[in-house]
């Protein structure tokens, strides 16, 4: 008996199929058409998937933007409810400034207050713009949104100027000693407050028209509680603050400077 090791098993040979030779132009064109059709089909399916994705992005971005616009315009409509109080208070402040200039400022309490200021938002539009979703929308729709948010920015700038002006006017509550400089500052603040209010009212009307033209529904119109600017001028500060914070949790109370 031989002790020689058995030969290792042969590995299976890989069969390589040679491409069939093309014998005619007809067969060549047939193979070529199959390859081209496959590539075009793959590209077409990719474009279909991308188009479906883009439509989904546009739909979601449009819904978010329109809701944001509706809410912002709703805050303006809310503010519009107290414009009568604002106008009356500025007339009263005008009289106080004249009295102060004549040395006849009332000795009793003076409550000036502050107009309602809404927290305008633009995060949805900014996000959709940065992600490129807005650029996929029809050009007329893009232009409409751009115009509306530009008007929002103008409204916000007027809010800031109004807030600063009313901060100056509230110094009357401290019965300051009259001087030519103080008189000029107060008169200037009244004019700034009136100008800011006019610009805000004009912007609100324009924005309501623009939103309506795009079929946007105004949302978030609030039923305001008592506003500080509507409290009678001769109300002591402590009483006015108690009326404003009635029913509001202690931690949520704000005291305007």
Q: State pTM to two decimals.
A: 0.75
* CA pair distance 244, 255, nearest whole angstrom: 10
* CA pair distance 145, 65, nearest whole angstrom: 8
Would the pLDDT of 240 be above 80? yes
What are the backbone dihedrals phi and psi of residue 158, each rounded to the nearest 5 degrees, phi first? -65, -35
121 Cβ contact list (under 8 Å, min separation 6):
68, 71, 72
Rounded average pLDDT over 118-126: 89
Q: What is the pLDDT of residue 143?
A: 94
Q: What is the pLDDT of residues 50-85, one digit of tens each?
A: 655 568 888 899 999 999 999 999 999 999 889 999
Average pLDDT, rounded, for the chain: 83
Rounded average pLDDT over 138-150: 94
Would the pLDDT of 254 be above 60? no
What are the backbone dihedrals phi and psi of residue 56, each rounded to the nearest 5 degrees, phi first? -65, -40
Alpha-carbon Rg for the chain, nearest whole angstrom, is 36
99 Cβ contact list (under 8 Å, min separation 6):
105, 106
Between 49 and 229, residue with greater pLDDT: 229
Would the pLDDT of 101 be above 60? yes
* CA pair distance 52, 57, nearest whole angstrom: 9
3-state secondary structure of 59: helix
In contact, 9 and 3? CB cutoff 8 Å: no
């Amino acid at each position: 008996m031989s002790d020689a090791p058995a030969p290792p098993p042969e590995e299976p040979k890989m069969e390589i199929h040679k491409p069939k030779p093309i014998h005619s132009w007809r067969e060549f064109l047939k193979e070529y058409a199959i390859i081209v059709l496959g590539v075009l089909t793959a590209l077409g399916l990719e474009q279909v998937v991308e188009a479906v994705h883009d439509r989904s992005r546009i739909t979601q971005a449009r819904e978010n933007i329109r809701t944001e616009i509706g809410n912002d315009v709703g805050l303006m409509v809310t503010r519009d409810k107290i414009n009568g109080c604002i106008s009356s208070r500025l007339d009263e402040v005008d009289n106080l400034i004249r009295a102060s200039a004549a040395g006849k400022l009332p000795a009793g309490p003076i409550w000036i207050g502050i107009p309602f200021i809404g927290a305008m938002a633009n995060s949805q539009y900014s996000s959709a713009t940065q992600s490129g979703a807005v650029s996929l929308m029809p050009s007329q729709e893009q232009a409409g949104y751009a115009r509306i948010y530009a008007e929002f920015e103008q409204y916000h700038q007027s809010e800031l100027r109004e807030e600063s002006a009313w901060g100056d006017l509230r110094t009357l509550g401290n019965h300051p000693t009259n001087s030519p400089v103080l008189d000029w500052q107060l008169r200037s603040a009244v004019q700034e407050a009136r100008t800011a209010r006019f610009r805000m009212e004009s912007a609100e009307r324009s924005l309501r028209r623009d939103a309506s033209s795009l079929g946007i529904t105004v949302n978030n119109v609030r039923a305001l509680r008592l506003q500080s600017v509507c409290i009678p001028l001769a109300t002591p500060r402590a009483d006015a603050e108690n009326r404003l914070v009635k029913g509001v949790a202690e931690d949520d109370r704000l005291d305007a400077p």
